Amino acid sequence: MRIDRVEATSIFDTRGRATVETTLFAHTFSATASVPSGKSTGEYEACELRDPDGGVTRAVANVNGEIARALTGQRFESLDALDAFLVSLDGTPDKSRLGANALLSVSIAAMRLSALLEGVPLWGAIAKRAGTTPAAPRLYVNVMNGGAHASFKLPFQEYILVISGETPSAFSMAQEMFTKLGERLGRVPMGDEGGYAPTFDTLERPFELLAELVKEFPNTSIAIDAAASQLFHDDTYRLLGKSYTPEELARLYKSLAARFPIDSIEDPYDENAHTDFTRLTAMIGEKILIIGDDLTVTNPTRIKEAARNKEINSVLIKPNQIGTVGEALQAVREVSAARLKTIASHRSGETEDTFIADFAYGVGAYGLKAGGFAQKERLLKYNRLVAIGDEAGTV
Ligand code: 2PG
Ligand code: MG
């Protein structure tokens, strides 16, 4: 593939913060990609380059300047070669010089452009590149926001409904459940990820509410993202004003998993609490998914390590945690090699880019976590998944 022109600009994400959008041109074709941004970011994520005032003018300038000069007119044998070139151009281990946001916008746009040039759907191009079998993921729909996404009104960051089955019917079931939950909650604020942001007096109440809903709908269950790095202070975890030691927290998770139809717990402990992860996975990992996010940060080396120590049995994959599509696909390969499950994920600050839906379908991910229905940017991802199902039936 030969890139004729590179153009970047800054757009606003769902939080009204600036983010990078890049368009690549080749022949008469062009492809655009924009990158999401996290709030409860992991300590070991690739570096999102921000100006001191929070803007992305330097990241955009890096794409329009140094990256554009290096790519324009260059012929790349493969997308892996292009991504490797971007990584070496940056030259830092955490992509802090040019910015992981700058690099990823180029990397996704290149993947999209190459699919266009080949005349294949994006998910198909991803599957071919990754050597994976495309398949529809389960939906992980965020219905209640807490933690850093809702000023800690609820202790855990995300309360999620997991819905399996054919995407169109799973999607409409999820919408019905979302609406019903809204009616039961009454007027409450909304959180960062397009889910409700209520307040409850007890830890159990949100689980009771969701369990009632799950009883009414087949093939559904509950997931949480504890995002526990955010709850960790002075060696203990603070939940609703009470402190829990790691052992007490393990007992709490075990009892929640015994009492409620729980599918998974993401980031149950702080990102550096490796042995606590291992103990919990040994305790309840046969029954539910223990998912690494801040722990593994889509980093192939960290995933390998966590798998070797049996810290988790599933991994969240977010391309912007690592900075290029090629490395995110390598991360998926590590997940599969360790026989763990992949859950592809959006970020809490999102754009209209639906790449993550094609990514989830293309790699045959176990799940796609794409937020709640109160924000168009989240809905677009689920809609794209439905459209992919149609495409897959016809190509
Ligand atoms: C998470 C994500 C996305 P953020 O923790 O899994 O839901 O949140 O993008 O803020 O890291
Ligand atoms: Mg998370």
Q: What is the pLDDT of residues 182-223, one digit of tens each?
A: 999 999 999 999 999 999 999 999 999 999 999 999 999 999
Same structural domain, 141 and 242: yes
pLDDT of 395 strictly over 70: no
Active-site position among 95, 271, 318, 334: 318
**What is the rounded CA–CA span in Å between residue 272 and residue 152?**
21
**What is the rounded CA–CA span in Å between residue 238 and residue 227?**
12
**pLDDT per residue as tens digits for the range 176-190:** 999 999 999 999 999
Count of H-run helices and E-run strands, the chain = 14, 14
Please indicate whether residue 176 is annotated as part of the active site: no
Please indicate whether residue 193 is annotated as part of the active site: yes
Phi-psi region of 102 (alpha: psi -120 to 50; beta: other; left: phi over 0): alpha
Residue where one domain finishes, among candidates 86, 119, 152: 119
**Stretch 277-299: mean pLDDT:** 98
146: in domain: yes
Residues 314, 321 contacting (CB under 8 angstroms): no
What are 199's two structure tokens? 């307040």
pLDDT of 279 strictly over 90: yes
Residue where one domain finishes, among candidates 119, 146, 165: 119
Residues 36, 371 contacting (CB under 8 angstroms): no
- Residue in the structure block whose two tokens are 């554009």: 68
Residue 322 belongs to domain spanning: 129-394
Same structural domain, 351 and 220: yes
CATH classification at residue 91 = 3.30.390.10
Same structural domain, 12 and 66: yes
Does residue 38's CB lie within 6 angstroms of at least one atom of ligand 1?
yes
**What is the rounded CA–CA span in Å between residue 166 and residue 5?**
40
**Stretch 239-265: mean pLDDT:** 97
Same structural domain, 106 and 202: no
Same structural domain, 146 and 226: yes
**Stretch 233-262: mean pLDDT:** 97
Does residue 227's CB lie within 6 angstroms of at least one atom of ligand 1?
yes
**What is the rounded CA–CA span in Å between residue 364 and residue 333?**
11
156: in domain: yes
Same structural domain, 177 and 321: yes
Same structural domain, 194 and 89: no
Q: How far are the Cα atoms of 144, 164, 186 from residue 217, in angstroms, in the given order?
A: 18, 11, 21
What are 54's two structure tokens? 């929070």
Same structural domain, 221 and 91: no
124: in domain: no
pLDDT of 394 strictly over 80: no
254: in domain: yes
What are 63's two structure tokens? 């794409």
pLDDT of 334 strictly over 90: yes
24: in domain: yes
Residue where one domain finishes, among candidates 98, 119, 140: 119
Distance between Cα 132 and ligand 2 center (Å): 24
The pLDDT value recorded for residue 132 is 97
Distance between Cα 76 and ligand 1 center (Å): 33
**Stretch 167-179: mean pLDDT:** 96
Which residue out of 149, 157, 159, 343 has the highest number of ligand 1 atoms within 8 Å of its CB and is therefore the one to mutate?
157
Of 82, 123, 130, 124, the residue nearest 104 (C-alpha): 82
89: in domain: yes
Strands 138-145, 220-225: pairing is unpaired
Does residue 39's CB lie within 6 angstroms of at least one atom of ligand 1?
yes
CB neighbours of residue 200 within 10 Å: 18
40: in domain: yes
Give the position, in ligand 1's atom list, of the atom nearest the Cα of 37: 9
Q: What percent of the chain has pLDDT over 90?
A: 98
Distance between Cα 160 and ligand 2 center (Å): 12
Distance between Cα 267 and ligand 2 center (Å): 6
User: In total, how many domains does the chain have?
Assistant: 2
202: in domain: yes
What are 88's two structure tokens? 């070496």
Cβ burial 281-319 (10 Å sphere, 16+ → b, else e)? beebbeebbbbbbbbbbbbbebbbebbeeebbbbbbbbb
Same structural domain, 188 and 239: yes
Same structural domain, 199 and 266: yes
**Ligand closest in space to the Cα of 225:** 2
pTM over 0.85: yes
**pLDDT per residue as tens digits for the range 372-387:** 999 999 999 999 999 9
The pLDDT value recorded for residue 210 is 98
**What is the rounded CA–CA span in Å between residue 44 and residue 296?**
8
Of 310, 327, 309, the residue nearest 318 (C-alpha): 327
The pLDDT value recorded for residue 153 is 87
Same structural domain, 186 and 328: yes
Same structural domain, 191 and 240: yes
CATH classification at residue 331 = 3.20.20.120
